[in-house]
């Protein structure tokens, strides 16, 4: 993977936003690969195609790309809130590739892949409506909350200027594919319990440690009044999906996953 972008491809454009779009999309066309299959490249969408920026020519997986010149923080700005909400509920979200580049050197610093089945309603945040003086007055956008996406689903393509080997990326993506079997309306609970378990920052954890975060899960799912039984149910589901192991009653373990780079 070549991390240096070619800014000359945007020589005909004037605005910084146009430069960024053209340069990053050109880079993606020549450097991105499919995480869902062995395809070494992705096909760029036609100009003005909404939501989808790239398609895998072999398995037809869809990808959207977001780029920014600032380091990743808690949020990534996305498109319309209602459109994103419907896409999640109807299981139509594309895989997201988020890129952070250096605006001076035009070099990729970090790139994240978030699988299409890793989005839940708790991972998006409604923004304030645009002012009445704006061209699209009243329009409501959204942010993607990286902090509400499980660590497992924030797959590094590039970290701190170092690419991750494609086989490592594909292995991490493949490990999460069982989540796609869950109905979109039920997947949110599973993802949120996985995120809370990862937030404990331990390979081995207990049910009591998970119970200590029941208020957090309750705030994300206020309709459900039986949070602790739901936590137990979702831990069993994560076990069935192969994402955690049962060690003994009330105790769980994450499987090892070596992060090898090249």
211 lies in a domain?
yes
179 lies in a domain?
no
Same domain, 160 and 190: no
Query: What is the pLDDT, as a whole number, of residue 213?
Result: 95
User: Which domain CATH number covers 238?
Assistant: 1.10.10.10
Query: pLDDT tens digits for 72-105?
Result: 988 898 888 998 889 898 999 999 999 999 999 9
Same domain, 133 and 219: no
Query: What is the pLDDT, as a whole number, of residue 260?
Result: 41
Same domain, 115 and 223: no
Last residue of a domain, one of 112, 129, 164: 164
Structural domain tally of the chain?
2
Q: Three-state SS across the chain?
A: CCCECCHHHHCCCCCHHHHHHHHHHHHHHHHCCCCCCCCCCCEECCCCCCCCCEECCCCCCEEEEEEECCCCCCEEEEEEHHHHHHHHHCCCCCEEEEEEEECCCCEEEEEEEECHHHCCHHHEEECCCCCCCCCCCCCCEEEEEHHHCCHHHCEEEEECCEEECHHHHHHHHHHHHHHHHCCHHHHHHHHHHHHHHHHCCCCEEEHHHHHCCHHHHHHHCCCCCCHHHHHHHHHHHHHHCCCEEEEECCEEEECCCCCCEC
Same domain, 189 and 235: yes
pTM across the whole model: 0.89
178 lies in a domain?
no
Same domain, 37 and 132: yes
Query: What is the pLDDT, as a whole number, of residue 149?
Result: 94
Same domain, 20 and 141: yes
Q: Which domain holds residue 108?
A: 7-164
130 lies in a domain?
yes
Query: What is the pLDDT, as a whole number, of residue 27?
Result: 95
49 lies in a domain?
yes
Same domain, 40 and 153: yes
- pLDDT tens for the chain, 262 residues long, are 999 999 898 888 888 888 888 999 999 999 999 999 999 999 999 876 777 899 999 999 999 999 999 999 888 988 889 988 898 989 999 999 999 999 999 999 999 999 999 999 999 999 999 888 888 888 999 999 999 999 999 999 999 999 999 999 999 999 999 999 998 888 999 999 999 999 999 999 999 999 999 999 999 898 888 999 999 999 999 999 999 999 999 999 997 654 444 4
Same domain, 17 and 70: yes
Same domain, 198 and 245: yes
Same domain, 44 and 158: yes
Same domain, 150 and 38: yes
């Amino acid at each position: 993977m070549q991390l240096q972008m070619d800014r000359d491809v945007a020589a005909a454009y004037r605005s910084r936003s146009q430069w960024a779009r053209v340069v990053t999309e050109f880079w993606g066309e020549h450097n991105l690969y499919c995480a869902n299959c062995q395809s070494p490249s992705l096909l760029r969408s036609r100009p003005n195609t909404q939501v989808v920026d790239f398609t895998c020519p072999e398995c037809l997986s869809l990808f959207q790309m977001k780029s920014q010149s600032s380091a990743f923080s808690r949020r990534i700005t996305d498109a319309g809130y209602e459109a994103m909400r419907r896409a999640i509920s109807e299981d139509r979200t594309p895989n997201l590739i988020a890129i952070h580049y250096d605006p001076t050197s035009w070099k990729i610093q970090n790139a994240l892949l978030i699988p299409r089945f890793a989005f839940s309603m708790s991972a998006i945040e409604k923004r304030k409506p645009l002012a009445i003086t704006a061209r699209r007055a009243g329009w409501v956008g959204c942010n993607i909350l990286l902090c509400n996406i499980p660590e497992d689903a924030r797959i590094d393509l590039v970290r701190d200027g170092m690419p991750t080997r494609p086989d490592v990326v594909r292995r991490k993506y493949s490990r999460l594919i069982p989540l796609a079997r869950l109905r979109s309306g039920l997947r949110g609970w599973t993802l949120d319990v996985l995120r809370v378990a990862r937030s404990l920052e331990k390979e081995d954890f207990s049910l009591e440690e998970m119970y200590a975060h029941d208020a957090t899960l309750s705030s994300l799912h206020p309709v459900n009044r039986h949070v602790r039984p739901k936590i137990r149910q979702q831990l069993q589901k994560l076990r069935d999906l192969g994402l955690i192991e049962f060690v003994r009653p009330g105790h769980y373990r994450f499987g090892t996953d070596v992060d090898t780079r090249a």
